[in-house]
């Protein structure tokens, strides 16, 4: 079994860490981002990866940065010293959130080490970057997957060791697809580690030059729904932004979040984009730039997620009202 240094932060990474641990590989150190304020009380909260590591009594380090030429150079130097003194065979990276400088690769690529292996939630070279799950759904992709990549200094540019596809259903949200990809990624990294443990090598292939796309970071400003877009595009955005940042619109000064929707009928007569066409137990049907969309689950500020018709009745919405 291998000695593994694991670098990751959110739930996606925790799933992989748990599978590596359960497979019998020895996780000798975990690197994760510093504790962040969270919840209504904004108390400091450990990342999912740190929580698992502490539960299993695995050493944890939490540098703010790994760059020796940056604002947190002292923290970076301490972390690099810890890494250089650590006895390990391979470094696994999954949604860590910090850029790895050349010093990390120099340590991980010493003789008899496998370097840095990354679990990336897309079929590279499509959707390199920060938010591959969100962007795949937003773009209307039919398929995505996981790539196990040998990392280099570029942004998700390294050679691919293995990849597996996963279909994206018409009802898929980032939340549901995240969970499926996290499980797949965990299984695939264990397969890669086992392969290296047996043969002391991991064959890989350079990424294709064609088909490169970049998944830029999700911004809260993207959450506002533009009703002038076609219904299918709006539905994709709603699913892509569930759970973060949550697609939203404004009605009577209140910001309403949309959690679930479906593409509805084609609007034959002329209506304003954002106009409520019908309110029923199925939801609230709204005209768009092309066709209409059925809002199924909504949430008002400070409220719980409820069916769209329930919220519409509670807030006094009428057919003909226009959502902003």
Structure confidence at residue 40 as a pLDDT band (50, 70, 90): confident
Instruction: Say what the pLDDT of residue 38 is.
Output: 79
Structure confidence at residue 15 as a pLDDT band (50, 70, 90): very high
Compute the average pLDDT of residues 14-29.
98
Domains of the chain by start residue, with CATH: 3-215 (3.40.50.170), 220-314 (3.10.25.10)
Structure confidence at residue 268 as a pLDDT band (50, 70, 90): low
Q: Are strands 43-45 and 36-38 parallel, antiparallel or unpaired?
A: antiparallel
Instruction: Say what the pLDDT of residue 269 is.
Output: 72
Instruction: Say what the pLDDT of residue 270 is.
Output: 84
SS3 279: strand
Decide if pLDDT at 266 tops 90: no
Compute the average pLDDT of residues 84-97.
98
Tens of pLDDT along 107-146? Answer: 999 999 999 999 999 999 999 999 999 999 999 999 999 9
- Cα dihedral 188, 189, 191, 196, rounded to 10, equals 150
Structure confidence at residue 271 as a pLDDT band (50, 70, 90): very high
Instruction: Say what the pLDDT of residue 131 is.
Output: 97
Contact 31, 6 (CB under 8 A): yes
Sheet containing strand 26-31, edge to edge, reads: 60-61, 26-31, 3-8, 90-94, 116-120, 143-150, 160-167
The percent of residues in the chain predicted with pLDDT above 70, rounded, is: 100
Tens of pLDDT along 194-218? Answer: 999 999 999 999 999 999 999 999 9
Instruction: Say what the pLDDT of residue 34 is.
Output: 97
Contact 45, 11 (CB under 8 A): no
Six token digits for residue 244: 């973060």
- Specify the residue for token string 């650590």: 86
Structure confidence at residue 221 as a pLDDT band (50, 70, 90): very high
d(CA 161, CA 93): 14
d(CA 58, CA 195): 24
Decide if pLDDT at 173 tops 90: yes
Compute the average pLDDT of residues 235-249.
97
Query: What's the distance, CA 65 to chain centroid?
Result: 21
Structure confidence at residue 267 as a pLDDT band (50, 70, 90): confident
Tens of pLDDT along 289-309? Answer: 999 999 999 999 999 999 999
SS3 110: coil
Say which range, 96-110, 156-170, 235-249, 265-279, has the weakest mean pLDDT. 265-279
Q: What angle do CA 77, 80, 85 make, to 5 degrees?
A: 125
Decide if pLDDT at 39 tops 80: no
Q: Please, what is the average pLDDT of the chain?
A: 96
Structure confidence at residue 182 as a pLDDT band (50, 70, 90): very high
């Amino acid at each position: 079994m291998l000695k593994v240094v694991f670098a990751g932060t959110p739930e996606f990474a925790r799933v992989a860490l748990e599978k590596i641990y359960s497979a019998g590989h020895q996780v000798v150190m975990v690197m994760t981002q510093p504790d962040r304020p969270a919840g209504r009380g904004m108390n400091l909260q450990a990342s999912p990866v740190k929580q698992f590591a502490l539960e299993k009594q695995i050493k944890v380090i939490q540098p703010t940065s790994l760059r020796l030429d940056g604002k947190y150079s002292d923290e970076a130097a301490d972390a690099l010293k810890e890494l250089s003194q650590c006895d390990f065979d391979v470094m696994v990276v999954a949604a860590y959130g910090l850029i790895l400088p050349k010093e990390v690769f120099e340590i991980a690529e010493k003789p008899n080490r496998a370097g840095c292996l990354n679990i990336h939630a897309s079929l590279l070279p499509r959707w390199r970057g920060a938010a591959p799950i969100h962007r795949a759904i937003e773009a209307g992709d039919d398929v995505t997957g996981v790539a196990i990549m040998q990392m280099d200094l570029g942004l998700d540019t390294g050679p691919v060791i293995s990849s597996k596809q996963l279909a994206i259903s018409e009802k898929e949200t980032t939340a549901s697809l995240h969970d499926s990809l996290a499980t797949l990624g965990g299984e695939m990294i264990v397969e890669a580690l086992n392969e290296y443990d047996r043969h002391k090598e991991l064959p890989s292939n350079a990424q294709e030059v064609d088909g490169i796309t970049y998944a830029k970071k999700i911004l809260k400003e993207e959450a506002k729904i533009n009703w002038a877009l076609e219904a299918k595009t709006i539905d994709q955005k709603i699913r892509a932004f569930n759970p973060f940042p949550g697609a939203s619109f404004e009605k009577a000064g209140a910001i309403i979040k949309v959690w679930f929707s479906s593409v509805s009928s084609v609007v034959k007569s002329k209506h304003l984009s954002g106009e409520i066409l019908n309110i029923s137990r199925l939801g609230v049907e709204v005209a768009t730039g092309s066709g209409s969309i059925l809002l199924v689950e909504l949430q008002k500020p400070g409220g719980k997620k409820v069916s769209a018709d329930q919220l519409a009745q509670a807030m006094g919405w009428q057919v003909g009202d226009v959502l902003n």
